[in-house]
Structure 1
Amino acid sequence: MFKNLILIIVYIFMCSQSNAEIVFTDKFNQKNEWSFITDQVMGGISTGTYNYKKINNDNVVKITGNVSTKNNGGFIQVRRNLNNINLTNAKNVEVIAKGNNEKYFIHLRTNFTLLPWQYYQHSFTVKKDFKNFILPIHNFKKSGFLLPDKINPKNIKSIGIVAFGKDHKAELTVKEINFTK
């Protein structure tokens, strides 16, 4: 009996998470909204590219490259400005992604991340098939001690999809990003 009750609670929780109300969605229909950045802007030597494709009639962005921590580097990313998006009610960032069995990151920047190396991050590890990752905004970790501990969603100004932090080959395909409440 107790086992069945636990299963029901888990099922209800999973359904409520997957049916969260969308505050903002990006399905990569507006290609000019995203820009590609590498650690070369600060002397690093990571290289990469991004391109848009269609997979089963869905637009996706594919990020590929070689991340190198040499020369104090270690990242490639695509970033989108969110300054004109009202995210006040957002509780989660949802990412639908697949890739090469590596850990990747979502970086959020806010009105308080004034320096280029400041961000809040949450990791997710992709496999070869698309998976929906639900990343609670309150679980994003700040990159330095000068930032507030937690993010107020109304202050989010950009999102980055990032290959980061270690020497590796990046191969990440993202189908959709949502902010949900």
Structure 2
Amino acid sequence: MDLSTNWEYVADTVMGGVSRGQATRETVDGRNATRLTGNVSLDNNGGFVQIAFDLAGGDDFDGSAYAGITFDVRGNGATYDLRVRTRALDRPWQSFRTNFEAPAEWTTVCVPFKALVPHRTDATFDPATLRRIGILAVGQEMQADIAVSSIALYR
């Protein structure tokens, strides 16, 4: 299921951090993509820049017929996070997550739901209550540069 979407940009400045970046729509190596660029700083308890989108307008999206998330990325060789939120999570720091590398050539990443690890929650991942998906440069001083040309759920 294709999740073609309008990504939104979010940074740690919402919590007092000083990381800076942007999300742009552009052609990257022949593909239309959303590109996240920026400088991640750990100063002032910060540490992330992100692109994310809400599923079903922020209401529950039933992904129980699917096995995971797949997306095409091209980056700067750094490690990034995929984070997923469900109805069970009510704090902004909670998520189900995994990391992945974004090499300098277009690559398809497939993340099975079972690979998502709960972070700062005791909740169990339930794909029937998907709410939000994000891709982050997080947790270390770095220059973010990652492009996403497609994202979908796979069976």
TM-score by structure 2 length?
0.91
Q: Distance in 2 between matches of 1:62 and 1:179?
A: 20
Shift of 1:56: 6.2
Q: What SS does structure 1 have at the residue aligned with 2:21?
A: strand
> Please, which of 138, 148, 161 is the counterpart of residue 114 of structure 2?
138
Q: Distance in 1 between matches of 2:14 and 2:151?
A: 26
Structure 1 pair 167/105, CA: closer, same or farther in 2 (3 Å)? Answer: same
C-alpha root-mean-square deviation of aligned residues, in Å?
Answer: 1.5
Q: Which runs of 5+ in 2 are unaligned?
A: none
Q: Which runs of 5+ in 1 are unaligned?
A: 1-23
User: What are the equivalent positions in structure 2 for 1:148-167 lying under 5 Å apart?
Assistant: 148=123, 150-167=124-141
User: What are the equivalent positions in structure 2 for 1:99-114 lying under 5 Å apart?
Assistant: 99-114=75-90
Q: Distance in 2 between matches of 1:168 and 1:92?
A: 28
What letter is aligned with 2:2? T
> Please, which of 26, 38, 44 is the counterpart of residue 3 of structure 2?
26
Q: What SS does structure 2 have at the residue aligned with 1:26?
A: coil
Shift of 1:116: 1.0
TM-score by structure 1 length?
0.79
Are residues 1:43 and 2:19 paired?
A: no
Q: Distance in 1 between matches of 2:100 and 2:15?
A: 25
Are residues 1:147 and 2:122 paired?
A: yes
User: What are the equivalent positions in structure 2 for 1:1-181 lying under 5 Å apart?
Assistant: 24-27=1-4, 30=5, 33-55=6-28, 58-83=31-56, 85-144=61-120, 146-148=121-123, 150-181=124-155
More helix as a share of residues: 1
Q: Distance in 1 between matches of 2:75 and 2:34?
A: 12
Equivalent pairs, count: 152
Shift of 1:107: 0.6
Structure number with bigger Rg:
1
Moved more, 57-66 or 125-134: 57-66
What letter is aligned with 1:96? D
Q: Distance in 2 between matches of 1:158 and 1:120?
A: 10
* Identity rate, percent: 26
Aligned 8 A contact 2:7 2:34 in 1: no
